[in-house]
Amino acid sequence: MEKMRLVVVGAAGRMGQMLVKAIAASDGATLAGALERPGSPALGRDAGEVAGLGALGVKIADDPLKALLDADGVIDFSVPAVTVEIAALAAQARIVHVIGTTGLSPSDLDKLEAAARHATLIRSGNMSLGVNLLAGLVKKVAATLGADWDIEILEMHHRMKVDAPSGTALLLGEAAAAGREVALSDVSVRQRDGHTGARKPGDIGFATLRGGSVVGDHSVIFAGAGERIELVHRAEDRSIFANGAVRAALWGRGQKPGIYAMADVLGL
Ligand SMILES: NC(=O)C1=CN([C@@H]2O[C@H](COP(=O)(O)OP(=O)(O)OC[C@H]3O[C@@H](n4cnc5c(N)ncnc54)[C@H](OP(=O)(O)O)[C@@H]3O)[C@@H](O)[C@H]2O)C=CC1
Ligand SMILES: O=C(O)C1=N[C@H](C(=O)O)C[C@H](O)C1
């Protein structure tokens, strides 16, 4: 089969550069385009050089319509407004759209649902194998322990991260809520400040730390009376997300339009 032609959105960003490297190292995919915002200083530069690889012959451009014309898929770790726009274009082109972008609002998610009528969308707050396995464990532990065990999710990321709680924290919260057969939106507590009163039984709490260069640390804490279980994932290198995203794109090539998760890709 011919190599899958992939476009990277946000190609000069932290994840974009990792994606360019992961595609270059992949047997099944080739870089067909690289996008940045209008006015970006990266426009016109070779995407491989920006990623520190040497020239790949793909210049960073700012026209998504043109870039997607000749692509089989697009990998997008950018910002919510751009991701929604790219999903609509992926639907027009009937191609695969791998979405790593976090911080999407409910209305953004509705727009992705609409795009998924024609595009194959694979979206996950975390594309690593480790976190997706952890989510399965969290679901199982939450289902096993009674509601007298309190669930708290703690995350820490680098100082440049702009959204909170992280997409991964929310993914793990969804897994815990699914284990308890409740809707996360009914039980989640995203912030505490001042005289909050005692913790409500059944709540799933989130706490956010930001600082330095932390790639991504997540702990799911099950706190019982007299004992505590902590399930922890520490990302040490962004290549785990980029490799997962390329794997998702290749998997998506054979799928019908719809919205899929990383668990589908990994067969979990
Ligand atoms: N699901 C997962 O596994 C992971 C998800 N993420 C998520 O990916 C997203 C990006 O993270 P990260 O790489 O650290 O962030 P960066 O800010 O480093 O990268 C985002 C890139 O998108 C660019 N961008 C902005 N507007 C446009 C546009 N109109 N067209 C094309 N590109 C544009 C930005 O350019 P500029 O800076 O010039 O605005 C920037 O280069 C975040 O939401 C993050 O949470 C991150 C890691 C793993
Ligand atoms: O912004 C990041 O860096 C990361 N974002 C994702 C998230 O919001 O969970 C995944 C990873 O933790 C890194």
What ipTM was reported for this prediction?
Answer: 0.99
Check if 125 has its Cβ closer than 6 Å to any atom of ligand 2.
yes
158 is in an annotated binding site: yes
Cα of 16 to ligand 1 centre, how many Å?
Answer: 7
Ligand closest to 210 (CA) is 2
d(C-alpha 235, C-alpha 216), whole Å? 5
Residue 1 pLDDT grade (very low, low, confident, very high; cuts 50, 70, 90): confident
Average pLDDT over residues 10-23: 98
Give me ligand 2 centre to Cα 155, in Å.
10
Whether residue 37 contacts residue 60, with contact meaning beta carbons closer than 8 Å, is answered with no
Indicate the pLDDT class of residue 158, thresholds 50, 70 and 90. Answer: very high
**Protein residue with its CA nearest to atom 11 in ligand 2:** 216
pLDDT digits (tens, 9 = 90+) for 89-136: 999 999 999 999 999 999 999 999 999 999 999 999 999 999 999 999
**Above 90 in pLDDT, residue 254?**
no
Residue 262 marked in a binding site: no
Q: What is the pLDDT of residues 171-190, one digit of tens each?
A: 999 999 999 999 999 999 99
Q: Give yes or no for residue 53 having a pLDDT over 90.
A: yes
- Ligand 1 within 6 A of 125 CB? yes
Is residue 37 very low, low, confident or very high in pLDDT (cuts 50, 70, 90)? very high
User: CATH top-level class for 129-235?
Assistant: alpha beta
What pLDDT score does 230 carry? 98
Question: Among all ligands shown, which has an atom nearest to the Cα of 213?
Answer: 2
14 annotated to a ligand binding site: yes
Q: What is the pLDDT of residues 66-95, one digit of tens each?
A: 999 999 999 999 999 999 999 999 999 999
Would the CATH topology of 4-123+238-266 be identical to that of 129-235? no
Mean pLDDT, the chain, integer: 98
10 marked among binding-site residues: yes
The rounded distance, in Å, linking the Cα atoms of 134 and 112 is 26
Look up the pTM and report it: 0.98
Nearest CA to 36 among 11, 73, 53? 11
Q: In this predicted structure, what is the pLDDT of residue 42?
A: 98
10 lines ligand 2 (CB under 6 A): no
Ligand 2 within 6 A of 101 CB? no
Q: Which CATH superfamily is domain 4-123+238-266 in?
A: NAD(P)-binding Rossmann-like Domain (3.40.50.720)
**No. of helices (H) and no. of strands (E), the chain:** 10, 12
| Domain range summary for the chain, segments of one domain joined by + | 4-123+238-266, 129-235
User: Distance between CA 240 and CA 15 in Å, rounded?
Assistant: 10
